[in-house]
Amino acid sequence: MREVVLVYLDRSGGLQKFVHDCKKYNDSKQSYAVYRFIISINPSDIAELDATLGNYILHNPLQAAQIFQSVCFVAIKTLSLIEQLQTEAQISVLLKPTHLPPFPSYVLSLSAYPFNYTSQRFYMSEGIVIAMGTVTKYTQGARFLCTEETCPFSEGFRCIRVHCPGATESATVRTDFVCSLCSSPLQEDMKFRVLGDKQIVEMIDAKVLKALKGYSNDKSHFRIQAFTLFLR
């Protein structure tokens, strides 16, 4: 699947954009713990190249992003695109689909019952924004060092925490993380923290417009409730 990813990136122009993004990181004087890349993908084109990879992206996007992460790391090291990069864990890949298959199973509708959205895959959702919060900061990635000086994880970029979709802030930055090698406490290196913007949006299903038309029908009563989105 890694070969298919490389072929797709080359054909779609994503590889050229990736090289350009790497150049911006390499030319920057700022030190980064995490290098974040947003990769646009067309699920239909990928499925034509390899059906297994296309299905994997649609239904296991977090695991599929790890394949892209591995390909990006090899490309950076092979082409010497980012001199400061040390480990694969420093790369964060966000897959951004251009569209999803036009089937009901890919539509997130909180007015439908039962709610069967337990999988962490891509969904489309359409609604009306009724409230928006202010733009605030959140931690995209952070570097931690082992407090035991003799431990190999006390230097370098071995312990990297990266924000994943659906995770809370405490999953990325906390004070009770321990070293996986020696079980000593981990301490964050604050100068390598990577911040991003987030905004909370309240949405309501588009079907609410039917209730605002001012007339009733023979259908049973229904209830519409707003839901919260985190835009990062």
Domains recognised in the chain with CATH numbers: 1-100 (3.30.1640), 136-196 (no CATH)
Question: Two tokens at 164?
Answer: 């994943």
Give which of 45, 35, 60, 56 is closest to 13, Cα–Cα: 45
Average per-residue pLDDT in the chain?
A: 89
Determine the length of the chain. 232
The pTM of the full predicted model, rounded to 2 decimals, is 0.85
User: Which tens digits make up the pLDDT trace of 84-130?
Assistant: 899 999 999 999 999 998 888 888 877 666 666 677 888 888 889 99
C-alpha torsion 67→68→69→73, nearest 10: 110
Q: What is the pLDDT of residue 126?
A: 85
Could you give the CA distance from residue 135 to residue 168 in angstroms, rounded to a whole number? 16
DSSP character for 179? -
Q: What is the pLDDT of residue 222?
A: 66
